Every structure is written in C-alpha cells, then in structure tokens.
Structure 1
Amino acid sequence: MSGHLGDLSSDQLQALNELKAHVGTEYPTDEATLLRFLRARSFKVEAAKKQYINQCKWRKENDVDNILNQPPPLDKEMMAIISLGYHKHDRDGRPVYVELTGKIDANKLMELPLSEIMKRHIWHNEKQLRRAEELSKQFGKNIETTTQIHDMTGLNFSHRKCLSIFKHVSKIDQDVYPERVGRVIFVNVPWLFPLLWKIASPLLDPNTREKFVVLGGNEIHKLLDYVEPENLPEIFGGVCKCPGGCMHIVPGHLDSKSADSHGLIQTNIKAGKSLLQEIHCTKGETVYWHYIAASTDIKFRVLWQPEKASQPESIIPLEHVTLESAEGHFAATANGKLIIEFDNSTSTWLSKGIKYRINVDHGS
C-alpha cells in the first residue's frame, strides 16, 4: 500500500487513527497532512506525532501562514543571480518550478545572509504549496507534491561552496515539509555533477533521493515524459511561449557559449606523439576527467597501476575519441597511479588539438 488516502493497509489506517487521536483539537488538520508525516516516519506514530507538532509550533513562531502576504526576501538580489520560473504543471498535475541552476553566480549567492536565504526558501515552498492547492481544485484531485527542473549547464567548482546552503535547505524541507517532493529533475548535467552529487546526496532522506532524475545533455527530450510539450518552456525542449516569457532570465544566462569549455587546458599533440597525464592516488580518492577533441583521429585510454603492481591494467582501452564533450571518472580502491593518455601516434604530419581537465576528489 502507498500510504496515501484511499490506498491504506489496515496497519496504516490504524496508525492514522492513532495520530488523529494524539493531535486532537489542539493541532487540527486533515488526514492527507497527517499521512505525509506518517509516511515520512515509516508510520511510526510517536515519531510522526513529534515531527508534526514541532512543525505546527515552528509555523506559528515564524508566522509562516502569512509569509505570502509579503514579497519574497532578497528578491532584488536573487533576481540578479538566478534565472527561474514558476511554470504551469507536469503530467501528474504537480506545479513545476524551473531554474538555470548551473548559471547561478555562487560567489554572489554566498555573500547574501543565510537567514534571509532560508526565509526566501520558505516563501518559495509556501508559494509552491499554494499553487498545488489551486491545481487540486482545477483537476479535482489532491495534489500535495511539486516538481522541480534544474538545468545544470555551466556547473563548476565554485558551486561546491553552495553545498552549505543546500544542507540547511534539505534539513528544513525534511523537518517541516516532509513528503512534498514529487520529482526533481536535473538536465544537461556536466562532467562535474557526479562529484558534487556524491557530496550532496547523503544529506537527503533515501526516500527523497529516489525521486531525483538525472538527464545528460543528449537526454533533455526525456523531460517530455514528465511534462507535456505545451507546458514546458522552449529552452527545456517544449513548445510553450508564455507572453512576457516563461521564466525570469538573468542577462547573459542564455549565452550560447557553454561553460563546460571554461577552465579546460588547451594543447596540441604533435604528430607521432602522445600526451600522458599521471595522477597519483590514495585509496578513496576519485579522479574525474573531461575532454573536448578537435579530431576523431586522436585515441584515448585510461590505465590503472596499483602501488604494488608491476604493470598497469586497462580501465578504458585505446579507442578513438568523439567530437563531443566526453567525461568519466575512476575511484581508487587502493594507492596507485592513474594514467590518462591522448594518442596521436598514428599521425604522420598533423598535430591534433585537445582540451581537457582532470580533477581529483580527495573524499573530504
């Protein structure tokens, strides 16, 4: 049983009735709300009761019920940093929020006071829930979750510092907005995304992580599996053209030049030569690489040589590169040396251009 209204097992129904009796008239609410807290706590009544009552007290102390009567905090500052939009609904009727997350200026964001950023996030949550209520009336069914779409084009290492904000946001969402995530979709994820996700994902409840969808640059069309074309902005592969624009766009955020090429080392490999990069690793470290080749005549391979081994072993066999941006990673299970090779040895006369970047995550 899903634990939603109309789909309850006998044990889940009993837990709901117990929780209703516990909260009584002091903290009245509807059954759908109580079920959200029960699902968040695996239908453990005491844990759900504690979380629900704490949430009620928090809302009262922070006057959250009236927060939408005021403009969103830091609106001028945020609108200069973040391209975003509250845009229609997905195929399940959930309100959709879209954002060009990879284009956010992390340095400017980190200059803003955390307390005001959190107030703005609360305002954002309440706006989405207000939209969910309106869509519930429109479609004649209970809609209590939301959908987010984050375009990660432009993601870079400066965004790592924003993980401190993500930590606070994820905590408040799990403490006082449980079971509100319907789906979070990342699109155009670059080579760096797995590294940052490795750090961020443990901050999320396992049930919440299951609602995250990751789409690469050539998979953006899959958004149409979740949102109808007429409800999806053109920049996300849809056909919607709202009067005045589907979302707020910060000037420069839609520049055609991809930030994926920023920070790459550019070099030419002479005819008959190879470019070797040796990275000494300790156990637990992960090496990430990203390259853009000007010609498919260049070959690429990755070798791994553990500290005690006499010869390296092949991780990626020697093969021709692609013209598109390519990336990969390797996690060291022991101390050793990773060898990344770009091979132009088959060329007799011509040098070949390559752009590449190699980063090591030390696991901290």
Structure 2
Amino acid sequence: MSGRVGDLSKEQEDCLQKFKGRLKDVLKPGHDDYYLLRWLRARDFDLNKSETMLRNHFSWRKREKLENIADWECPEVIQKYFTGGLFGVDVDGCPVWIDPFGQIDLKGMLKSAKKADIIKAKVQLLEKLHSETFLDLSKQKGQRVESLIILYDLAKLGMKHLYKPGVDAYCEMITMFEDHYPETLKYAIVINAPRFFPIAYNIVKPFLSEATAKKTIILGTNYHDTLYRYISPEQLPVCYGGKRTDPDGNPTCRSQIGQGGEVPLSYYKQQMLSADIDNAVCVSVGRGSSLQVECEVAVKNSAIRWQFSTQGYDIGFGVYRRTTGERQKASKMEEVVPTHRVNSHLVPEDGSVTCTEAGTYVLRFDNTYSWTKAKRLHYLVEVLEPDTEDFTNPNSSQASFHIKPE
C-alpha cells in the first residue's frame, strides 16, 4: 500500500489514528489526513520518529515566525539572480519547478546576501507552494495535489560551483526541505549533467533521504524522450524541447524562470580583510620560503578544493603533482595550476581542480619572492571523491547519467 489517503493497509490506518491521538495537543483544523500521512510516510510509519519529526517542525515554525513569512520582503539580489521558477504542470497535473542551476553565481550571491536570507527565500517559496499553488491545482483537478517535480538544468555547471560556502548553503537548504517539507518532492529530474557530476552528487548525497534519492532521475544531454514521460512538450519552454515561449518569443521563458547570471559587484557587501574559514589551519610562511601542503588522491577524477586567506600581504599559489615518491621542488613536479600571485589579503581565495590521475598532489604557497616579510596563512584543503554509482548509460552515444526511480 502507498500510505496515501484511500490506499492504507490496516496497520497504516491504525498508525494514523494513534498519530492523531498523540498529537491532539498541537494539531489544528487544517491538519487533515493528507497532511499527517506525509510525516508518517517520511518515517516509514514509525510512530515515535514521525511524532518527533512533526513536533520539531512545529517548534521550528514558531521559532522562524512563519505565520508572517508571506509579508517578508526578499532582498533584491536574490529576486534577480537566484535561478528557477514555477512553470507549467506534469502529466498528472502536479506543478513543475524549472531551475537552470548551472547558471547560478553562488559566490556572488553569498557575497551579496546573507545565507539566512537565501534559505528564508526558499522557505517563503515552499510556504506559498503549500498554501496556494497546491490548493489551486487541487481545485482545478478535482483531487488532491501535494507534490511537485523539480527539473534541474546543469548546463554551464562548472568547478566554480564547488565553492565551499555555496555548497554548504545548498546542503543546508536540502536539510531544511527534508526536515520540514517531507513528501513534497514527486521527482527531481537532472538534465545536462556534466562529466564531473559524480563529484558534486557525492557531496550532496549524504543530505538526501533514501526516499529522495529514489525519486532522482539523472540525465545527460539526450534527455528529451525521458523528460516527455513526465512533462509534455506543451508544458515546457522551447529551450528544453517544448512549445512555450515568453510573450516576446524568448525560448527560456525568463519572465517566469529566473536565469541566474553573474551577480554585479555593485551588490557585493564590504569584504573583511581576513576570511573566517571554518576549521582552517593557521600557519606562518617564512620570508623567502614556501609551504607545501600534500594531498593524497586515491581515486582518479577526484577534485581538490581549497580556501585560504593571508593577513596583510599577498602570496603565491600553485598546484603540482609529484612524479616520484619523494619530496620535490616545484620545478621537478608536474604543473597542474601554475604558481601566481594572489591578493588573498584583500579577498579570500577559493578554487578547485579535477585530478585526472591518482597520486600525491601538492598545494604550494610561495613566499620566496619576499625577503623581508613572513605571511600569516589560514587555509582549508579537501579532497572530494566522485560517487561510486555507475552513472554511465551504455545505450547513449553522448555523455549521459541516470538513476532509475523505483
């Protein structure tokens, strides 16, 4: 049995009635069986876990003052440069959120808006989805609508999207969605997944529930036939093989779907001179010397991600791969990222690189050009391995990935 209204086993029905009894002190008239079953399904009808989840949710709503969320004014930069928008319905009449996520400027967004406000903007959207969109579509359809499809377009996604503060913020949004809006997702369909997608997926996968992972469909560039099984061309923009455009003929339908783009510097807030990097290592790089930070990469196509800042002065930075098992000078190693001077005393530096081969990689902080000043350095370095799922679709002539839903 699906665990939905009209499709409950005897055990599930008994569990629902007990759930109502346990929560009678906090339930309101609008908390009907459809609502309560969402929380039960999210915890596989485990009464204790479902009760804890829902009570935590009620406490969170009170703490975040969500009764006034509709009146909150979202910062302009988020309205203009965050990607995505509700657009059309799927073949069953459920709403579709289309998100060209590959075009978002995560660094620019977090330098221009508070992380809390970015997450709050998503909460405001989800509240409107449940209080207005689902109800309107339910009336039109004549039966309950309570879930949506999210279509993620990862075209233009690159290594810059591994920007750690941005990834951390996105993972917080996933956790918020899983904890407070369970069973809202019908399917997540990812299209134009790039070759380094297994690395990105491995970062976010720990934040996905098992149910969400099973609802995820990951595709490459040959996505149209599969996509049409869920969303008809009549409900898609022309840029995705559909038949809809903006009134002015724009094929991306940007009047309804935020297209992201680089955030102008005019939105940036004043930067601190030294980065506040969580768990950073703090060292001094002596005058006329360099510091080599070693990274052991065991799996090819992993990525090395770094953040660092210096106090008062710039520093040189480069990435190398050892060609022997012993410590080497930079001139003897394979150059991966050429050494260059970085103004990390003005703006915290971050970046990443894909390691096409396993081995020992060296991040070299170069202060050999300075004979008078040592440099105080704060750095964080991580090795990100690709997911072990076999994403390659052997039936496709182009790069394609897939996870079949159950």
Same structural fold, with TM-score higher than 0.5 when normalized by the shorter chain: yes
Is the Cα–Cα contact under 8 Å of residues 37 and 51 in structure 1 kept in the other structure?
A: yes
SS at match of 2:98: strand
Instruction: Report the Cα distance in structure 2 between the residues aligned to 1:66 and 1:13, rounded to whole angstroms.
Output: 34
Q: CA RMSD in A?
A: 3.0
Residue 363, structure 1, aligned to residue 385, structure 2: yes
Is the Cα–Cα contact under 8 Å of residues 184 and 213 in structure 1 kept in the other structure?
A: yes
Residue type of the alignment partner of 1:77: V
Instruction: Report the Cα distance in structure 1 between the residues aligned to 2:137 and 2:150, rounded to whole angstroms.
Output: 16
| 1:269-306 superposed Cα distances (whole Å, 9 cap, x missing partner) | xxxxxxxxxxxx967423269xxxxxxxxxxxxxxxxx
Once the two structures are TM-superposed, the CA of residue 156 in structure 1 deviates from its matched residue by 0.9
SS at match of 1:147: strand
Higher deviation after alignment, 239-248 or 31-40? 239-248
Q: Following superposition of structure 1 onto structure 2, how do residues 74-85 of structure 1 map, counting pairs within 5 Å?
A: 74=75, 76-85=76-85
Instruction: Report the Cα distance in structure 1 between the residues aligned to 2:92 and 2:298, rounded to whole angstroms.
Output: 41
Instruction: Report the Cα distance in structure 2 between the residues aligned to 1:39 and 1:183, rounded to whole angstroms.
Output: 16
Once the two structures are TM-superposed, the CA of residue 101 in structure 1 deviates from its matched residue by 0.5
Q: Following superposition of structure 1 onto structure 2, how do residues 302-313 of structure 1 map, counting pairs within 5 Å?
A: none
Is the Cα–Cα contact under 8 Å of residues 95 and 147 in structure 1 kept in the other structure?
A: yes
Residue 210, structure 1, aligned to residue 217, structure 2: no
Aligned residues: 275
Question: Could you say which residue in structure 2 is the equivalent of 1:261?
Answer: none
SS at match of 2:97: strand
Question: Could you say which residue in structure 2 is the equivalent of 1:171?
Answer: 175
Question: Could you say which residue in structure 2 is the equivalent of 1:128?
Answer: 129
Question: Could you say which residue in structure 2 is the equivalent of 1:153?
Answer: 155
Instruction: Report the Cα distance in structure 1 between the residues aligned to 2:127 and 2:116, rounded to whole angstroms.
Output: 17
Is the Cα–Cα contact under 8 Å of residues 84 and 99 in structure 1 kept in the other structure?
A: yes
Once the two structures are TM-superposed, the CA of residue 220 in structure 1 deviates from its matched residue by 3.4
Is the Cα–Cα contact under 8 Å of residues 155 and 192 in structure 1 kept in the other structure?
A: no
| 1:202-242 superposed Cα distances (whole Å, 9 cap, x missing partner) | 21111111111111112234221111111111111110124
SS at match of 1:183: strand
Is the Cα–Cα contact under 8 Å of residues 100 and 153 in structure 2 kept in the other structure?
A: yes
Question: Could you say which residue in structure 1 is the equivalent of 2:231?
Answer: 227
Q: Flag structure 1 segments of 5+ consecutive residues without an equivalent.
A: 254-280, 290-306, 308-327, 337-359
**Alignment counterpart, residue 186 of structure 1, candidates 185, 190, 210:** 190
Instruction: Report the Cα distance in structure 1 between the residues aligned to 2:226 and 2:212, rounded to whole angstroms.
Output: 21
Q: 1:40 to 1:284 in 2, by over 3 A?
A: farther
Instruction: Report the Cα distance in structure 2 between the residues aligned to 1:80 and 1:227, rounded to whole angstroms.
Output: 26
Q: Following superposition of structure 1 onto structure 2, how do residues 74-153 of structure 1 map, counting pairs within 5 Å?
A: 74=75, 76-111=76-111, 112-129=113-130, 130-153=132-155
Is the Cα–Cα contact under 8 Å of residues 155 and 194 in structure 2 kept in the other structure?
A: yes
Instruction: Report the Cα distance in structure 1 between the residues aligned to 2:184 and 2:169, rounded to whole angstroms.
Output: 19
Q: 1:241 to 1:232 in 2, by over 3 A?
A: same
Instruction: Report the Cα distance in structure 2 between the residues aligned to 1:282 and 1:168, rounded to whole angstroms.
Output: 28
Instruction: Report the Cα distance in structure 1 between the residues aligned to 2:12 and 2:183, rounded to whole angstroms.
Output: 16
Is the Cα–Cα contact under 8 Å of residues 189 and 214 in structure 1 kept in the other structure?
A: yes
Question: Could you say which residue in structure 1 is the equivalent of 2:299?
Answer: 285
SS at match of 1:189: coil
Q: Flag structure 2 segments of 5+ consecutive residues without an equivalent.
A: 263-294, 304-324, 326-353, 361-381, 387-406
Instruction: Report the Cα distance in structure 2 between the residues aligned to 1:66 and 1:217, rounded to whole angstroms.
Output: 42
Q: 1:78 to 1:168 in 2, by over 3 A?
A: same
| 1:298-318 superposed Cα distances (whole Å, 9 cap, x missing partner) | xxxxxxxxx9xxxxxxxxxxx
Q: Which runs of 4+ in 1 moved over 6 A?
A: 328-332
Percent identity between the two aligned chains: 28
Is the Cα–Cα contact under 8 Å of residues 79 and 250 in structure 1 kept in the other structure?
A: no
Question: Could you say which residue in structure 1 is the equivalent of 2:68?
Answer: 66
Is the Cα–Cα contact under 8 Å of residues 187 and 220 in structure 1 kept in the other structure?
A: no
Instruction: Report the Cα distance in structure 2 between the residues aligned to 1:84 and 1:176, rounded to whole angstroms.
Output: 21
Once the two structures are TM-superposed, the CA of residue 142 in structure 1 deviates from its matched residue by 1.2
Q: 1:160 to 1:57 in 2, by over 3 A?
A: same
Question: Could you say which residue in structure 2 is the equivalent of 1:22?
Answer: 22
SS at match of 1:286: coil
Once the two structures are TM-superposed, the CA of residue 200 in structure 1 deviates from its matched residue by 1.0
Residue type of the alignment partner of 2:101: T
Residue type of the alignment partner of 2:7: D
SS at match of 1:37: helix
Is the Cα–Cα contact under 8 Å of residues 224 and 238 in structure 1 kept in the other structure?
A: no
Q: 1:60 to 1:288 in 2, by over 3 A?
A: closer
**Alignment counterpart, residue 56 of structure 2, candidates 31, 54, 59:** 54
Question: Could you say which residue in structure 2 is the equivalent of 1:39?
Answer: 41
| 1:144-182 superposed Cα distances (whole Å, 9 cap, x missing partner) | 111111110111111112210122111111211111111
TM-score (norm 2): 0.62
Is the Cα–Cα contact under 8 Å of residues 188 and 220 in structure 1 kept in the other structure?
A: no
| 1:35-58 superposed Cα distances (whole Å, 9 cap, x missing partner) | 111111111112111211221232
Instruction: Report the Cα distance in structure 2 between the residues aligned to 1:252 and 1:109, rounded to whole angstroms.
Output: 10
Once the two structures are TM-superposed, the CA of residue 198 in structure 1 deviates from its matched residue by 1.3
Q: 1:286 to 1:251 in 2, by over 3 A?
A: closer
Question: Could you say which residue in structure 2 is the equivalent of 1:5?
Answer: 5
